[in-house]
Amino acid sequence: MTTSPHQVPLLVARGLTKTYGLGDAAFQALKGIDVTIQRGEFVAIMGTSGSGKSTLMNVLGCLDTPTTGTYEYEGIAVESLTSEERSLLRRYALGFIFQGFNLLARTSAQENVELPLLYRGMSRKSRHEKALAALTSVGLPTKLTSTPGELSGGQQQRVAIARAIVTEPSTLFADEPTGNLDSVTTREVMEILTRLNVDRGITILMVTHDDHVAATARRTLVIKDGLIESDTQSARWSGTL
């Protein structure tokens, strides 16, 4: 009997460790992480600086490789992939949002959003159509020609979100997406992420220091000293999965 792809967890990590450096200078950032993420979850990853939360997200987002342990994404053994294969996985299945926005400074919002599609070799017309749709979905249909310097911090993060979703990824990795934003703009960005999760079914893994931001998620993992200290479901979302 074969297993339907939809019955396989989206992400399964077992015994993940990550060590930086050698000998006396070695530092073990992850010390044996076991975690399973189902499709459609919205997971906040919390922890103090140096706890290993960003390292965990980088490994799960295929931006880094574990020292030991196994990691499967949609049933694919990621640790066995070549760097080129991991790059293709990121390009076609994953989206990334960062605290610093990471937009090209002298490039318009539309061109910033189109960049991932350019790497795919998509036609100019298709790139334009998809970029417009993505920017419209985050409330910026009139900012196509604006450069990052002409946008507020919140608008820049919206462009970054549009760029992350223009490829229609199954999973979004967000590293402190509201870290540079005021409280009002933070709420607006979190409403967008929640809508992407609820309406489009995009799985979201979000690193944050902010308890209020984490409360938006369906589930919270707290990382301490390279291990999962707690794994809790949000009372707000109880019974919805």
Residue numbers in the chain where pLDDT is lower than 70: 1-6, 235-241
Residue 105 contacts by C-beta under 8 Å, 6 or more apart in sequence? 147, 148, 149
According to DSSP, residue 168 is labeled: -
Q: For position 206, what pLDDT does the model report?
A: 97
Exposure of 74 in the CB half-sphere (CA atoms within 13 A): 14
pTM of the model: 0.90
Decide if 24 is inside a domain.
yes
Domains: count for the chain: 1
- CATH assignment at residue 158: 3.40.50.300
What Å distances lie between residue 164 and 81, 131, 148, CA to CA? 23, 11, 16
Decide if 171 is inside a domain.
yes
Query: In the structure encoding, which two tokens stand for residue 49, read together?
Result: 């600086």
**What pLDDT, in 10s, does the model give residues 44-61?**
999 998 999 999 999 999
Domain that holds residue 70: 5-234
Q: Minimal CA–CA distance to 93: which of 34, 5, 188, 194?
A: 5
Decide if 33 is inside a domain.
yes
Decide if 55 is inside a domain.
yes
Decide if 241 is inside a domain.
no
Q: For position 54, what pLDDT does the model report?
A: 92
Average pLDDT over the chain reads: 92
Decide if 240 is inside a domain.
no
Q: For position 8, what pLDDT does the model report?
A: 85
Q: For position 238, what pLDDT does the model report?
A: 52
- Please report, for the chain, how many H helices and E strands are present, in that order: 7, 10
Q: For position 2, what pLDDT does the model report?
A: 45
Q: For position 200, what pLDDT does the model report?
A: 94
Q: For position 237, what pLDDT does the model report?
A: 54
Decide if 239 is inside a domain.
no
Cα separation, 23 vs 25, in Å, equals: 5
Q: For position 44, what pLDDT does the model report?
A: 97
**What pLDDT, in 10s, does the model give residues 10-24?**
999 999 999 999 988
Count CB atoms within 10 A of the CB of residue 61: 20
Decide if 150 is inside a domain.
yes
Query: In the structure encoding, which two tokens stand for residue 69, read together?
Result: 């342990």
Q: For position 119, what pLDDT does the model report?
A: 84
Cα separation, 195 vs 191, in Å, equals: 6
Q: For position 7, what pLDDT does the model report?
A: 72
Strand partners, 77: 72
Q: For position 236, what pLDDT does the model report?
A: 63
N-terminal to C-terminal alpha carbon distance within the chain: 26
